Amino acid sequence: MEPDLLWSRRLQRATGIYSLGWLLLANLVGLWLATLLVWPGAGKWVGELTYGRWMPLHMDWQLYGWCSLPLVGLLMSFFLKSGDGAEVHLGFLSWSTALVVGGALSLLGVVSGKLFLNWAGVGRVVFPAAQVLLWGILVAASWRRWRTCRRWDRVQSLHAVLLIVLLASPIALFLTSGSETYPPIDPESGGATGHSLLASSLGMIGIFGILPWVLRVPRVGAGRKIVRVYAGAFIVSLGIWAVLDHGNASNRSIGQNLGLGVLLGWVPLTLAYYRAFAWQGAIRRWLWAFLFWWGLLTLTGFITFLPGVLDWLKFTNGLVAHAHLAMAGMVSALNMLILGSLGKSGKGDPWADASAFWIWQVGTLLYVVSMMVQGVREGLDPTVLFGPNPTTEVFYRFRWFAGVLLVSANLRWIYCLARGWLVRPVVAEVLVKGVCRG
């Protein structure tokens, strides 16, 4: 077997274990939260560890665990080479240690109170430190490559750009998690501005654009033309973002709505762009799932931001539905596409398992629809959220069952990885068989 194939396969599996492991932990916490909504008396089992203690832990483990670790593995695949196995586990273990510390602090009530930026106390230092350690591992790998090649080629240039960008992450995280720093808001709704939403979305679109290149997915057909169109549209979108009002701004501002509306054009463009690459057949279903959830997220997100609609849905379960549409839907599909592309994939791999794929999609759809309908009910009549309400209880049971489906799919993925890791050698040509059927 070629060393590079074996190396990519090992990195793929290591990334899968850490990523799907943290997804399982975060999903179990989410299922516990759903349980408390259906059977509040269960909270007596854990004493002072109330719903409010578990919620920031659930959100941060999802964002900084599941949503981040596949990208960490992607960076390692681009920087590290065969023989760097120790650095791989050092990076993942330091990141995981920071997540454990953050989770413990959440349960102790040591949080900043900011959504997805709940790093406080020692956690505000520990997680950026884990990011700096990973950055150092990547710098060392890039330096070793330069010493070997002794030439500044395209890959080395991309290394330099990525390292500069990545260094800003721990600094930004430390500053923004502090109590003295807050982003611009919509003074009428209390939510994010169109400018802020466009900025974060363009960051994701930038990641969408470089993914096929970093994953070394070959182009097909007239791929060069669509790449130029994608790059040009991205530059234009950045220009539109630059001229928007960057301060506190209302969603009743035409400029904020038009600026955010730019994202609607990115739905068909992203579809055309990703179709210009030859993705592995075993994981192609995740490509289509990603494009579906991305389109639905963009459309519903824009509609939700509109004046009147946001007033109706803000602070309801409708926004919970939107968050899960983003993370359980779009981001999860994209992450499985990344995991499946880190190495050669086939039957037996979790990202190639058709049964778990459909269980996950059904669970996500059930969760999103049930919470969106419940959110509409709350917007029409806020009293349905307080006190006994049979219909609300029905929707919360749908939410709980959706959580069971998501955890079930997650457990199946973990089993696939564990079976392949423990029962057989990790090789690129022979993939595990058994209960995991593509």
Highest averaged pLDDT of the listed ranges 147-161, 178-192, 333-347: 333-347
The answer on 7 and 122 residing in a single domain is yes
The answer on 197 and 164 residing in a single domain is no
State which residues form the domain around 379: 283-437
CB atoms within 10 A of CB 355: 13
Task: For 276-286, write each residue's pLDDT tens digit.
Answer: 999 998 899 99
The answer on 373 and 252 residing in a single domain is no
Banded model confidence at residue 3, pLDDT cuts 50, 70, 90: low
Task: For 288-324, write each residue's pLDDT tens digit.
Answer: 999 999 999 999 999 999 988 888 888 899 999 999 9
Number of independent structural domains in the chain: 3
Report the CATH number at residue 111: 1.20.210.10
**Is residue 434 over pLDDT 60?**
no
Last residue of a domain, one of 278, 306, 337: 278
Banded model confidence at residue 425, pLDDT cuts 50, 70, 90: very low
Task: For 46-93, write each residue's pLDDT tens digit.
Answer: 999 999 999 999 999 999 999 999 999 999 999 998 777 789 999 999
**Is residue 241 over pLDDT 50?**
yes
**Once rounded to an integer, what is the mean pLDDT over residues 332-344?**
95
d(CA 295, CA 291): 6
The answer on 145 and 1 residing in a single domain is yes
Determine whether 243 is exposed, middle or buried from the number of CB atoms within 10 Å of its CB (0-12, 13-18, 19+): exposed
The answer on 34 and 133 residing in a single domain is yes
Prediction pTM value: 0.92
The answer on 381 and 331 residing in a single domain is yes
d(CA 217, CA 224): 13
